[in-house]
Chains A and B, each alone.
Chain A
């Protein structure tokens, strides 16, 4: 049997398993980026705050998370955080909760920088014009700055989602149900060592390629209104 045929056959035979894995990956990436956004908005606002201590905390949070490998963070959240204190231990939350939480926290650091730079890329003149008219700080942010920042933010968030699709493969180490996990299942049950890897790589590639196309279409549509 030749190389491609073998891969194809494994892919076809276990298609339900791979599909389930792919959906698991999409779901995990979506949950991560969604909650990463909610958390990221807070971090971004903190970082832009005029109250210095808040801004320092946000800066430290972002640099530590972006400056350490995700795999190390995942191990810390898997092994250390659940045992951190008796109170946390008593909660007895499942392991996947901590792993997902870690992914969210990791993503929030990147998302907060996306949001902050998107907001700061809006011309300062827009804020000045709104404030000079007597518009409140809050309304200026909500009605003038954010609608313009969204254009910078949305495509970058799309790219973050694509990154996360790939990054979540690290979570397979901790038995989360996602695409990379199918490799472990197939190896231990059917002794298939290398074929699933190529099927998995192919599925990742298809997902990221389609989504990248989507992001660049979105980018084009958003820039039309400039």
Chain B
């Protein structure tokens, strides 16, 4: 624990309403550099919304999100610049269907970071090799399987050289036989020291990989701790009930 006390993201009094529906009811939390945090909980508990507030895809109704010392909920900050440092992977991949695999990866670094096309391609080659997609470099996404699309989505985010990766149920839309290939890539990243926040229903994976686990329900973090604390010795009755259903 001691090695990872440096704060990367701080959340203060975070609230989010959709109309009259209170989805997040006040969250104070901190994500540390190099840490892997899994967020579990029933659907509708606000875990995806919480994750999407971290890069302001959802604009919080109240509260602050401080990323690398800057409150990114402040309307004056250039959110694009900060988002470049916060990678995100979605449940439905959201790869760009009109661009081939290479361009999916290189378009944003070239446009927004002014990386030269040659440089961007070199980097893309490395990333493609890392996730075993080198032979798909010039394919269009429609030719890829779900697992391949999700691996592409992961390296597309990595191409921006982010300081943290957010995963929003990265394996929920995958066929069972493709879950492992995606989890392996995430595990690999985590082991290399990437800070990861993962919303997931893969309890076994969360238990193995995480430094800390948050259990969310009804818009607040009900319980948090090491995987052993949350999975093996839960204290909150809600956590106990949830785990009894899913484990």
Contacts and interface: CB of A to CB of B under 8 A. Distances in A.
Contacts of A131: 57, 80, 83
B90 A134 contact: no
Interface stretch (B24-32, B93-101, B121-129, B238-246): B93-101
A104 B86 CA distance: 46
A27 interface: no
Interface residues of A, number: 19
A17 B116 CA distance: 59
Interface in A160-197: none
Contacts of B112: 133-136, 139
B160 A133 contact: yes
Given A135-B112, A139-B111, A143-B111, A128 B83 contact: no
Q: Among the interface residues B55, B82, B111, which one has the most CB atoms of the partner chain A within 10 A?
A: B111
B86 A132 contact: yes
A126 B160 contact: no
Given A123-B94, A125-B92, A126-B96, A132 B57 contact: yes
B83 A144 contact: no
A203 B210 CA distance: 72
B131 to A, nearest CB: 17
A139 B86 CA distance: 18
A55 B62 CA distance: 27
B157 A133 contact: yes
A148 interface: yes
Interface string B70-98: 00000000001111111110101011111
Nearest to A146: B98
B160 A225 contact: no
A148 B140 CA distance: 14
B7 interface: no
Given A128-B57, A143-B111, A225-B140, A134 B97 contact: no
Interface string A205-226: 0000000000000000000011
B224 interface: no
Q: Among the interface residues A133, A135, A144, A225, which one has the most CB atoms of the partner chain B within 10 A?
A: A133
Interface in A90-136: 123, 125-126, 128-136
Contacts of B95: 129
28 contacts: A123-B94, A125-B92, A125-B94, A126-B96, A128-B57, A129-B88, A129-B95, A130-B96, A130-B108, A131-B57, A131-B80, A132-B57, A132-B157, A133-B83, A134-B80, A134-B83, A134-B85, A134-B108, A134-B112, A135-B107, A136-B80, A136-B111, A136-B112, A148-B97, A148-B98, A225-B97, A225-B140, A226-B97
In order of increasing CB-CB distance, the 7 nearest A-B pairs are A134-B84, A129-B94, A125-B94, A132-B88, A134-B83, A133-B108, A134-B80
